[in-house]
Amino acid sequence: MNAIIAKRVDSGTPDTTEIRELAAAAGYTVVGEVTQSRTADAALQLGEGKAEELAEVADRTEATTVIFDNRLGPYQTYNLGQLLPEGVEVIDRFTLILEIFGQRAQTRKAQLQVELAELRYELPRAEAKTSLAKREEHPGFMGLGEYDESRERDIKAQISRIKDELEQIEQTEEHRRERRRDSGFDLVALAGYTNAGKSTLLRRLATDLEVEENEDLHPDLDATAESQDRLFTTLGTTTRKADIEPRDVLVTDTVGFISDLPHWLVESFKSTLDSVYRADLVLLVVDVSEDVDEIHEKLVTSHDTLYERNEAPIVTVLNKIDQVSEEELAEKREALAALAPNPVTVSAKEGVNVDGLLERIDRELPDWEAERLVLPMTDDTMSVVSWLHDNAHVEDVTYGDEDVLVAFEARPTVISQARSRASELQTAAAESA
């Protein structure tokens, strides 16, 4: 699929790096580029002369698609379609992102979120079709589709249905998170922009995977995180166990942030971010090889997104230090100090300072407490001792004639559960005496 990139900015020089990467991620081959620095044209986004130039480039390169890095309104899409050669499709960056999401969605939840985002994108276009039809225009031209009076109602009904199903899935996932937390697991979430290296870092932290492997492990959890240099490798969430003695830590990789997302798209994928909002600790992963101004802007946006609902501490992880000099790293740390006052620097790809990150995770997570319990000897006592071995760090077990003394460390919630189980054993022992 051959595509032309088009971008307009109010002033300055248009940067098409990211939109080119997005196009490549969706499977397009970029064969041309048309950019302009001026205020937006209400009818065409570009100025009329530049739009005609775009049509000439599309004709010359035999492109099948024009991809705008700007957000296009329904009427702009329609008007551009009238100028371009027949059969050339016009899409904007948000349509492109939805294409990528659709290609990568594997779980039911991810597929529903993509469908929800597509419907929210289509709704104002359905309203535009109604308006065009009333003016006796041709709304089927260039992707606007044939006018259907009932389409708006259908879209709204589908949106409601999908939101209900996503809410049910989220309730199930929340119950699973609570069961893990009650079982003594600390929950750590990876957040950050797409291509920052979150999936690679997850594979470094995981106890059951090597960075080079990509095996389908843990059938009860989502698919294994891949380590690839491409955007949107991770669409759903991926959870792995990390080795931080004596803790049991589950680390979850999530869909990456991307700049300039519209509200309707962020809203569609909000349930994916719930694994971040409900974590005990968030690792905000940043590509430190990027320009410092770009890093600063991404940190600001990430903090705005996370602080909206997140209550857990946030640790900034400056990743890809293998791609910068020590001097450049020091300069960037100083420049970003206000947003990332005490970051951890790592290279997930090379494995540099991963141990330091594990130590920092241990320090930031809720403290474990020491406890000693005396359990009366009953038929169920050994099952409680076995449960403590699974959910706590057991330091010593002393067996007496009539009781068992267990010394252990655990999360406060596990200690509370252990006390409750010990009380149940004592009640049972008293009743049988």
Tell how far CA 70 is from the center of its chain.
23
Q: How confident is the model at residue 210 (pLDDT cuts 50, 70, 90)?
A: very low
Cα separation of 216 and 107, whole Å?
14
Query: What secondary structure, in 3-state letters, does 64-101 show?
Result: CEEEECCCCCHHHHHHHHHHCCCCCEEEEHHHHHHHHH
Predicted local confidence at residue 258, as pLDDT: 67
Q: Give the relative orientation of helices 270-277 and 151-182 as an angle to the nearest 10 degrees.
A: 20
Retrieve residue 404's tokens.
């068992």
Q: Residue 73: name the closest of 257, 259, 262 by CA.
A: 262
pLDDT band at 106 (very low <50, low <70, confident <90, very high): low
pLDDT band at 199; cut points 50, 70, 90 = confident
Cβ atoms 20, 7 nearer than 8 A = no
Q: What is the mean pLDDT of residues 294-305?
A: 86
Q: Taking 50 as the threshold, does the pLDDT of residue 223 lie above it?
A: no
H/E segment holding residue 119? helix 108-134
Q: Cα separation of 115 and 265, whole Å?
A: 11
How far, in Å, CA of 227 to CA of 242, rounded?
17
Q: Give residue for tokens 């020089």.
A: 13
Instruction: Give the least confident one: 171-175, 274-278, 289-293, 294-298.
Output: 274-278
Which pTM does this prediction carry?
0.60
Position 217 scores a pLDDT of 35
pLDDT > 70 in the chain, percent: 79
pLDDT at site 205: 87
Taking residues 262-267, what's their average pLDDT?
Answer: 58
Q: Going along 109-197, which residue ranges are E strands?
A: 185-192
Rounded Cα distance between 339 and 337, Å, is: 6
- Higher-confidence residue: 121 or 57? 57
Query: Does position 396 have pLDDT exceeding 50, yes or no?
Result: yes
Both tokens assigned to 142: 């260039």
Please give the C-alpha separations between residue 275 and each of 165, 183, 281, 360, in angstroms, as whole numbers: 17, 17, 11, 20
Kindly state the average pLDDT of the residues 139-167.
73
Query: pLDDT band at residue 268, thresholds of 50, 70 and 90?
Result: low
